[in-house]
Copies of this chain bind each other. A is one copy, B any other.
Amino acid sequence: MSRFVCFLCLHSASYTDSSDDETSPRDKAQVNTHGSSDFCVKNIKQAEFGRREIEIAEQDMSALISLRKRAQGEKPLAGAKIVGCTHITAQTAVLIETLVALGAQCRWTACNIYSTQNEVAAALAETGVPVFAWKGESEDDFWWCIDRCVNTEGWQANMILDDGGDLTHWVYKKYPSVFKKVRGIVEESVTGVHRLYQLSKAGKLCVPAMNVNDSVTKQKFDNLYCCRESILDGLKRTTDIMFGGKQVVVCGYGEVGKGCCTALKALGAIVCITEIDPICALQACMDGFRVVKLSEVIRQMDVVITCTGNKNVVTREQLDRMKNGCIVCNMGHSNTEIDVASLRSPELTWERVRSQVDHIIWPDGKRVVLLAEGRLLNLSCSTVPTFVLSITATTQALALIELFNAPEGRYKQDVYLLPKKMDEYVASLHLPNFDAHLTELSDEQAKYMGLNKNGPFKPNYYR
């Protein structure tokens, strides 16, 4: 499941009318204005509202729009039959409609039972994309929708776009014959990628797969740049904290930690960090952060932020030593970094003071402010800019085009990273947003550098 789960749940809430009727979509007979009933959404009548959401999203996803224009003549996805399983939001809709514009036929379902924007699903269904998804599916609904996507008469998927691996797993298990004929899988999530590598190791991956999660552009945006903004947003929305002068310890100085530290320092917080890796620690020194052990500073801190990817980085013992009012939150990995379980003990009182904000109260009255119960702060309590989603979606589209059009033999039955050159292409498609003008190498310069004028410009390992 992807990092965006919680955010989307939260976010979509504001757009979706919760007072809808309670009949299950599976029990409704709905037809779009073109007479098709090959879809299952909450309410096809919401299509117009959903269309407006899609149009607004298009404004910030000009990379995809420009991809439509550049590639439309040649229809590079003509013949592609893509089955997709992702969050269904206005941004995804822009992706799907781009794939269609490039020649693909698509069938779509949701990778999360809460995250579907019903209006957007309706708008897609109205234009003829078979969508099977609604907000608030049951577990059973979830797999039913996936199945309806894959298992349809007279249409057989030859490409998979997945986010979390559930769709891939379903096809692999239930429709092995389809699976074998797929030309490629594009997977976006950490979990899904992990599953693919396991399949590959076990020798059971009979299809080339593209890991788009680890492309440079996506990583930098998901981690460094996005966290630089979302740490402030998440803390502000939950606690209204004033950053100036606050003492903050950030555990971990990887990309996420670097993003958090940069932003907090810039707004006047006094930041120190903890690290296990001496190279990252030396970088922190050079960037002006004291490198400490958590136990040395825990008593003085106003805010504790974890970004290590590890577990039990903040222990009960350290929680016991925090001062009154200390805020604790996690920007790192799932919900393991803070030992929240240790706080569920009888001597401590939990008080929910706002959505996503708990006061844990010690017997002496000390309160520790725990955000999002230790889950990812930026997904739970802030939003993801459309611009970041645009990078992800563009990467997915290019990966699909690459896999679908790759000459025989370029990709084997393995998991691949997006080629550097395509990663550069994703970046280049987003430069017009900033009115940024690239310089071109002259022939002489390209020769001097030993580079192709069109890239790739850096080795694969360059970050």
Seen from chain A, the residues whose Cβ lies within 8 Å of a Cβ on chain B are 14, 56, 59-60, 216-217, 220, 225-226, 228-229, 232-233, 236-237, 240-245, 247, 263, 265-270, 274-294, 296, 300, 309-313, 324-325, 336, 353-354, 367, 382-388, 423-425, 427-428, 430-431, 433-442, 444-445, 448-449, 455, 457-458, 461-463
Contacts and interface: CB of A to CB of B under 8 A. Distances in A.
B243 A296 contact: no
Contact of A291 (B216, B220, B291, B437): B437
Contacts of A245: 285-286, 288, 433-434, 436
Which of A241, A275, A285, A292 is the most central at the interface, judged by chain B CB atoms within 10 Å of its CB?
Answer: A285
Contact of A289 (B56, B270, B296, B457): B270
B448 A310 contact: yes
A385 B270 contact: no
Contact of A240 (B241, B267, B286, B383): B383
Given A14-B354, A244-B286, 13 more contacts: A216-B279, A226-B242, A229-B267, A240-B384, A242-B385, A245-B434, A267-B288, A275-B439, A276-B441, A280-B457, A281-B431, A312-B445, A463-B463
13 contacts: A220-B286, A229-B242, A232-B233, A236-B383, A245-B285, A276-B438, A277-B424, A279-B458, A281-B427, A281-B436, A291-B436, A291-B437, A293-B439
A33 to B, nearest CB: 24
A16 to B, nearest CB: 14
Contact of A220 (B283, B441, B444, B448): B283
A55 B313 CA distance: 31
A247 B313 CA distance: 27
Nearest to A268: B288
B353 A56 contact: yes
Interface pairs A-B: 4 shortest CB-CB: A266-B266, A291-B436, A245-B285, A242-B385
B385 A240 contact: yes
B458 A461 contact: no
A444 to B, nearest CB: 7
A217 B236 CA distance: 23
A235 to B, nearest CB: 10
Contacts of A457: 276-277, 279-280
A313 B325 CA distance: 36
Contact of A278 (B59, B267, B428): B428
Contact of A263 (B267, B386, B425): B267
Contacts of A461: 461, 463
A324 B59 contact: yes
A431 B284 CA distance: 10
A289 B275 CA distance: 22
Contacts of A232: 232-233, 236, 267
B244 A285 contact: yes
A298 B115 CA distance: 38
Contacts of A300: 435
